Each structure stands twice: as structure tokens, then as C-alpha cells.
């Protein structure tokens, strides 16, 4: 065997091992997700039902989202007050809203994934504006608010304790109401 062939085989072997190391956790994680999803056939607790009818109807989740749903028990979100209930006419998945929010979220953000699981457009836009204003990653705030049931103030304070979280949340909600009123009007 020549030196070139031997070197080529070594490089191929090292590449195969590197590829295995790179994708191994994803394969085992996917396998664990499938077994967790099949094993967890418990229905959601009655306390997780929200007042928002759009969120209370079950919908099929893609396979890549099953892990988060299996590990995190649904928690009732923040209580919807009367002024927020009026803003329910525009869904979080509205194309006009997505076009407007591309400027607020990071460049190249998948708007379908970003707006997924939000009960209202106002909640989605509020979290997006809070993320931009406070420089806390959007997906981190979304996780805390949607899946862990924390208020926007609590989520902001958790990552930026030096900021006035209540004021930042109020500012984000005001910006959200402004955006939604522009799109509805």
C-alpha cells in the first residue's frame, strides 16, 4: 500500500469518527424523544387549560418538538385581562405580523417557529420587543413565558436583574399594542 492510499484511509477514518461524534448526540436524543413520547401517554392536567380558545384546542406537534412537550409539563400562562382580550382578533401567525416582526427579531429568524405556541399576537410581539429592548435572546424569553408560565417581568428579571423588569415589560407591551393597532387599522 502506498503512502497516499494509507493517508487517504486515515483521513477517511478520522472524518467518519468526527462525523459520528458530531451526529451521535442527535441520534440518541431523537431515540430518547421517541421513547419518552410513547411512554408519556398521560393527558395534560386540567389546570393547564387556558382561557384562550386558540390555545385550548390541541394541535399536532412536529416530531422535532415532541421532546420539549414530553419533558415540560404545560403550565397555565398569564391571566388575560380585558384590554388584552380585545387584541385577539389578529393571530400570532398572521403573515402581515410576521413581515412586520422580521425587523424586530434577529435577521434570518424563522417566523413560523418564533410565533409558534403564542396564544395571541400581542403576547408574541411583546416578547419580541422585550427581547430586542433588553438584549435577552427571544427564544429564552419565549421558553420562560410560554412553557414555564412565568410573567414577562419575571423572565426579564431572571436574566437582567439590574434592569427595571416591570418597566421593560410595560414598554414592550405598549410597543406591541401599537404594532397590532397599526396592522388591524
Q: Are residues 33 and 86 in the same domain?
A: no
Q: What is the mean pLDDT of residues 82-99?
A: 65
Task: Return the pLDDT at 33.
Answer: 54
Which of 9-18, 112-121, 163-172 has the highest average model confidence (pLDDT)? Answer: 163-172
pLDDT tens-digit map of 124-181? 999 999 999 999 999 999 999 999 999 999 999 998 899 899 999 999 999 989 988 8
Confidence of residue 92 (pLDDT cuts 50, 70, 90): confident
CA distances from 80 to 52, 87, 105, 122 (A): 8, 11, 24, 11
- Using the Cα atoms of residue 166, residue 138, residue 57 and residue 71 in order, give the sign of their dihedral: negative
Q: Are residues 31 and 81 in the same domain?
A: no
Q: What is the mean pLDDT of residues 57-86?
A: 46
Q: Are 51 and 87 in contact (CB under 8 A)?
A: no
Q: Please count the CA atoms within 13 angstroms of the CA of 82 that sit on its side-chain side.
A: 0
Q: With 90 as the cut, is the pLDDT of residue 58 above it?
A: no
Whether 67 maps to a domain, the answer reads: no
Confidence of residue 110 (pLDDT cuts 50, 70, 90): confident
Return d(Cα 170, Cα 154) in angstroms, integer: 12
Whether 63 maps to a domain, the answer reads: no
Q: Are residues 88 and 167 in the same domain?
A: yes
Whether 46 maps to a domain, the answer reads: no
pLDDT tens-digit map of 17-55? 888 887 877 666 555 554 555 444 444 444 444 444 444
Whether 32 maps to a domain, the answer reads: yes
Whether 165 maps to a domain, the answer reads: yes
Look at the block and give the residue holding cell 406537534: 61
Q: Are residues 37 and 82 in the same domain?
A: no
Q: Are residues 88 and 160 in the same domain?
A: yes
Return d(Cα 104, Cα 97) in angstroms, integer: 11
Q: Classify residue 66 by burial, with Cβ atoms within 10 Å: 0-12, 13-18, 19+.
A: middle
Q: Are residues 16 and 98 in the same domain?
A: no
Q: Are residues 85 and 174 in the same domain?
A: yes
Whether 180 maps to a domain, the answer reads: yes
Give how many domains the chain has, as a whole number. Answer: 2
Task: Return the pLDDT at 26.
Answer: 65
Whether 117 maps to a domain, the answer reads: yes
Higher-pLDDT residue of 58, 158: 158
Confidence of residue 87 (pLDDT cuts 50, 70, 90): very low
Q: Are residues 35 and 86 in the same domain?
A: no
Domain, as residue range, for 105? 77-184
Q: Are residues 97 and 173 in the same domain?
A: yes
Which of 48-57, 84-93, 109-118, 164-173 has the highest average model confidence (pLDDT)? Answer: 164-173
Whether 58 maps to a domain, the answer reads: no
Buried b (16+ CB within 10 A) or exposed e, 42-62: eeeeeeeebebeebeeeeeee
Amino acid at each position: 500500500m502506498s503512502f497516499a492510499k494509507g493517508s487517504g484511509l486515515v483521513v477517511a477514518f478520522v472524518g467518519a469518527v468526527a462525523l459520528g461524534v458530531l451526529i451521535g448526540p442527535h441520534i440518541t436524543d431523537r431515540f430518547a424523544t421517541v421513547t419518552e413520547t410513547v411512554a408519556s401517554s398521560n393527558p395534560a392536567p386540567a389546570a393547564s387549560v387556558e382561557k384562550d380558545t386558540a390555545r385550548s384546542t390541541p394541535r399536532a406537534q412536529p416530531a422535532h418538538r415532541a421532546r420539549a412537550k414530553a419533558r415540560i409539563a404545560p403550565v397555565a400562562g398569564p391571566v388575560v385581562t380585558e384590554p388584552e382580550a380585545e387584541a385577539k382578533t389578529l393571530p400570532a401567525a398572521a403573515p402581515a405580523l410576521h413581515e412586520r416582526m422580521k425587523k424586530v427579531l434577529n435577521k434570518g429568524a424563522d417566523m413560523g417557529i418564533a410565533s409558534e405556541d403564542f396564544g395571541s399576537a400581542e403576547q408574541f410581539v411583546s416578547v419580541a420587543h422585550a427581547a430586542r429592548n433588553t438584549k435577552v435572546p427571544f427564544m429564552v424569553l419565549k421558553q420562560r413565558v410560554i412553557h414555564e408560565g412565568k410573567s414577562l417581568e419575571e423572565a426579564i428579571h431572571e436574566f437582567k436583574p439590574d434592569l427595571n423588569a416591570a418597566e421593560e415589560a410595560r414598554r414592550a407591551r405598549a410597543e406591541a399594542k401599537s404594532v397590532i393597532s397599526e396592522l388591524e387599522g
